[in-house]
Chain A
């Protein structure tokens, strides 16, 4: 009843091609944005900011980039962590070496470095497909790990392995409180997500999807695989690079290459699959799920232990967490292989007819 679209007539191509053609969707989206930008910063505690909100927002951005590559262009990549690392170290180098460099400039340059790196390691995708590609992207992962450990110039000869982000400000406003960091990341996320949404609706997005669905057929109808794949790698790693820089500057503060290791890549892949391949909305859900789930498990485990009458030490808890996590991954893939975003759209479909199922 609530979600009814009859009576909403489209009288121009413009209104027919909107991102949210149905009025209710627009209102829900506006309300969500209002909550995210106004209500949340006013009410959240610093723990919620640092443990949930900031990581969710940044990881959603990284997942967005990963999804462009895997979900829209069909190039399985296990190297997302490396692109994040290049973005983070790139932005850090720029801001430390160039005096008076604005934060946004550094972030964008970090993204550009990541894009160049991504295109370089995307070159094999022109010859190699599927799982072969997944493993060759691991080359990017291990190469980046090694590079930031061994090439001293990149870390400015820092005596310890880790580098520390400087204090940053945007347009004269210092980003030192949790709320300001959150709002900055959220603004970037919304802008980039909007850009991506429009990108995947445009000609280039359709080319990516054609390559994903069947690259030979796409080539036959005149889509250039080289161009489509490399642009997907560039756009994707640009976004992942920006997310990596944010992750380093605003979440970690100081970091070393291990922070962007293979685990990060797997986590991003998991977010994308759980959230929904080829769905912008799915990235947000996937990132939120991946950040909140371990926290819930950690909170719930002591209770579980007392029910079972066991004393759970930290080691046992860590092992149990791994096990639960593994089971949940498999269970999720079995129950909803198309991701949580599919549940969302199924729900919408049902709501359109509710309360009359036929």
Chain B
């Protein structure tokens, strides 16, 4: 029982990070019907920028404090994501309005290719570390209940906390600020939003920036756990079924589905994997999403689309 709980908790914490990446997808899709295949590369790019600047800034400016260097690096990376958002809107999306979804999807793949090459040629393609001073010791809780207690990776705990904070901040932003409200209006109906005076182009920039920020946080957390390297961009492929499972347009859906997928992946790998040869983590989420979609084609929390002729 203790082992089961341990697996479950570990899975849930990974799930929070999936939710974070999935949120990036959902935000962009809601506001502009663009399925952003480049989200994974954005995570990689942001993490690379953060890792390298936290190394470079002390060299350039002679700042001693690790915290200050990290904060500065985070801010520089955030500014980079803002510039990226602006460029994407200006150079690509603006010209691709009203194209079919497949074309937009391809365009984001192109953006992904570019970012991948650009990020690695500017920041280098080795494995880098982000050291934001996460505690590394494992925690043991509930020792009275089970023999040996439940082992919790404190790194994962901090990661999950950071992710939860960001999600909460995003929810507040969308619910309470006027920009957030405008974004929700854009998501509901482009034309209606435009006709009441919401500048569509600026909203897209904001949404890409917010997605970039969540990519940055996800990249920072994953990067400090596993090191920043190319494989981080495949994280997005893990998050795709999360988006679909939760429903493409639903923010709470992304969060809940992330938790389900994170926990399900770990549990299935441990309790189901040995029977089928292991390694089922890679497709478990996809098959789960597929099965759920057969029952609920709009995902767990997606809007039901009613077609009329």
B-binding residues in A (CB < 8 A): 70, 76, 123-124, 127-132, 134-136, 138-139, 142-143, 145-146, 149-151, 214-217, 220, 262, 266, 269-270, 273, 277, 315-316, 318-330, 333-334, 337
Kindly state the separation between the CA atoms of A91 and B69 in the bound complex, as whole angstroms.
57
**B interface: dominant SS:** helix
List 10 A-B pairs, minimum CB-CB distance, nearest first.
Answer: A326-B114, A322-B117, A329-B110, A326-B113, A139-B286, A323-B117, A319-B121, A142-B283, A330-B110, A150-B277
Give the residue among B112, B114, B125, B279 with the most A Cβ atoms within 10 A. Answer: B114
B301 to chain A, nearest CB (A): 13
| Complex CA–CA separation, A327 to B303 (angstroms) | 34
Q: Taking CB as reference atom, which chain B residue is nearest A277?
A: B102
If over half of A's interface residues share one DSSP class (helix, strand or loop), that class is named, otherwise mixed; here it is helix
Residues A132 and B103 in contact, CB atoms below 8 Å apart: no
B290 touches A316 (CB 8 A): no
Closest to A131 in B: B35
Q: Which residue of B lies closest to A139 (CB)?
A: B286
- Could you name 29 residue pairs across A and B whose Cβ atoms are closer than 8 Å? A76-B101, A124-B293, A127-B293, A130-B101, A132-B244, A132-B298, A135-B240, A142-B286, A143-B283, A143-B286, A214-B309, A215-B307, A262-B237, A266-B109, A269-B106, A270-B109, A273-B106, A319-B117, A319-B120, A319-B125, A322-B113, A323-B114, A323-B117, A324-B117, A325-B110, A325-B114, A326-B110, A326-B114, A326-B117
Chain B nearest Cβ from A222, distance in angstroms? 13
Cβ–Cβ contact A330 & B290, under 8 A:
no
Given known A-B contacts A150-B278, A269-B106, A333-B107, A128 and B117 have beta carbons under 8 A apart: no
Q: Which residue of B lies closest to A144 (CB)?
A: B283
Closest to A220 in B: B309
* Residues in B whose Cβ lies below 8 Å from that of A136: 244, 286, 289-290, 293
Which chain B positions have C-beta within 8 A of A135? 240-241, 243-244, 286, 289
Q: Which of B103, B121, B289 contacts A337 (CB 8 A)?
A: B103
Q: Contacts A319-B117, A319-B120 given: A138-B110 contact, CB under 8 Å?
A: no
Q: Which residue of B has the minimal Cβ distance to A221?
A: B309
Question: Is B116 in contact with chain A by the CB < 8 A criterion?
Answer: yes
Given contacts A127-B294, A128-B293, A150-B277, contact A330 B91 (CB under 8 A): yes
Whether B96 sits at the interface, judged by CB under 8 Å, is yes
Please tell me if the beta carbons of A124 and B309 are within 8 angstroms of each other in the complex.
Answer: no
How many A-B pairs have beta carbons closer than 8 Å: the answer is: 149
Interface residues on B, range: 35 or more
Q: Which residues of B contact A216 (CB under 8 A)?
A: 307-309
Complex CA distance for A128 and B282, rounded to whole angstroms: 22
The CB with the most chain B CB atoms within 10 A, among A129, A131, A262, A315, is that of: A131
Chain A residues within 8 Å of B116, by CB? 319, 322, 326
CA distance A151 to B283 in the complex (A): 15
Given A132-B298, A135-B289, A214-B309, list of 7 further CB < 8 A pairs?
Answer: A131-B35, A132-B244, A132-B297, A146-B280, A216-B309, A327-B114, A333-B96
The answer on a CB contact under 8 Å between A323 and B290 is no
Smallest CB separation, A301 vs chain B (Å)? 12
Q: Which of B105, B106, B299, B309 is the one whose CB lies under 8 Å from A132?
A: B299
**Interchain CA distance A1-B239 in the complex, whole Å:** 57
Query: When chains A and B are docked, how far (Å) is the Cα of A143 from the Cα of B279?
Result: 11
Residues of chain B within 8 A (CB-CB) of A262 are 237
Across the interface, name the chain B residue whose C-beta is closest to A133.
B293
Determine the distance from Cα of A130 to Cα of B307 in the docked complex, in whole angstroms. Answer: 13
Across-interface contacts of A319 in B (CB, < 8 A): 116-118, 120-121, 125
Instruction: Return the chain B residue nearest A315 by Cβ.
Output: B125
Q: Mark B82-112, 1 if CB is under 8 A from A, else 0.
A: 0000000001100110010111011101111
Give chain B residues whose Cβ lies under 8 Å from the Cβ of A138: 237, 240-241, 286
A30 to chain B, nearest CB (A): 34
Q: Which of B273-297 contact A (CB under 8 A)?
A: 276-280, 282-283, 286-287, 289-290, 293-294, 297
B121 touches A124 (CB 8 A): no
The yes or no answer to B115 lying at the interface (CB within 8 A) is yes
B residues less than 8 Å from A127 (CB atoms) = 293-294, 297
Alpha-carbon distance between A326 and B110 when the two chains are bound, in angstroms:
4
What is the chain A residue whose CB lies nearest that of B308?
A: A216
Residues of A within 8 A of B287 (CB): 139, 143
User: Does B248 count as interface, using CB distance less than 8 angstroms?
Assistant: yes
- Using CB atoms, name the residue of chain A closest to B29: A131
B279 with A270: CB separation less than 8 A = no
Residues facing A in B204-220 (CB within 8 A) are none
* Complexed CA–CA distance, A124 and B241 (Å): 14
Instruction: Kindly state the separation between the CA atoms of A277 and B99 in the bound complex, as whole angstroms.
Output: 13
Residues of chain B with a CB closer than 8 A to A145's CB: 282-283
CA distance A311 to B306 in the complex (A): 58
B208 smallest CB distance to A (angstroms): 15
A112 to chain B, nearest CB (A): 23
